[in-house]
Structure 1
Amino acid sequence: MSGSNLRGQTSVEMLFILSIILLGVLLLIPTHLQGSYDSAVLVSVRGAASDAEAYLRVGVMVLDDPIYVPLNEVIQNYSDSARIRFIGAAIRNETGQSMAVLVDFEHDTSISPADEYRIAGALGEFIKNRLAAQPGFSIKSGNLYYEGRRVILNVSVGESWAVVP
């Protein structure tokens, strides 16, 4: 065999190896990006929910910022609002265009299911508005989006829950 044939064979083998590596990278990157997307949404939702819990726990109303209006109504209407605790958040359902995030709160008060529903709605509106102020999130036609993908918040308080688009 001549030297040029060996170099040609080596070049073909190198191209084959590089194509396998490139194919592997192309298969792994979308999976990694999806995980990063989910993590970014969950971290942001957990942060906003923790802020809501802290605001209710302190019980001092901020009147000059419209983002706090839903929580101010909870403080005004429910004397035990400081006893509402954030438990956690998780992705419940996910499609290519949207994701549903469960945000769970608990309380140890004696309020009716109708009141739990109202509080869940108020917490959801606060979380939605808080997220809309963060990079990557936006509100279009009343719906929350993260980088073009719709985020639906399912907020539960006790046995009741509210869906916040």
Structure 2
Amino acid sequence: METTMNMPRLGPAHESLKAFVGDWTGTEELAASPWAPASTARADCEYRLALNGFAVIQHYRQRREDGSEFLGHNVFTADPATGETLWYGFDSYGFPPESAARGTWAGATLTLEKRTARGVARHRLTPDGGTLTHEIDVRMGENPEYSPFLRARYTRKDQ
């Protein structure tokens, strides 16, 4: 008996991720955290379509006022079983992803939740033509309340 695997297909989440594709630059306002003091930073984000449209890969570089740098390599895709958007992030702090952040689209906004032993980060990314906003709120440890962590606005470099 021959068995054929049902392969994933491109879906609405994959299509929505295409709005990020391009090169972005902007300013970020960061709250104090266990990793760094409050600051303003400049950042560049490069999003590329990959794997025949099944993924968008992001290279991220943040430069803070004190000269320190934070780097990220992120992979966005979709869960073929649920249609949710998945985000796997690797960064220069060195914490490996315990699991993918999961999220959904509401209109043009992608909301993702990343859960780790350190807490929960809720990301809201909204691409709007030549502007991309990214907001992160965090809930650390046993604290039941979310606090603002990052407010960023980027513009497309090619505009």
Q: Answer 1 or 2: which has greater strand percent.
A: 2
TM-score of the aligned structures, taking structure 2 as reference length: 0.29
TM-score of the aligned structures, taking structure 1 as reference length: 0.29
Larger Rg computed on CA atoms: 1
Q: Answer 1 or 2: which has greater helix percent.
A: 1
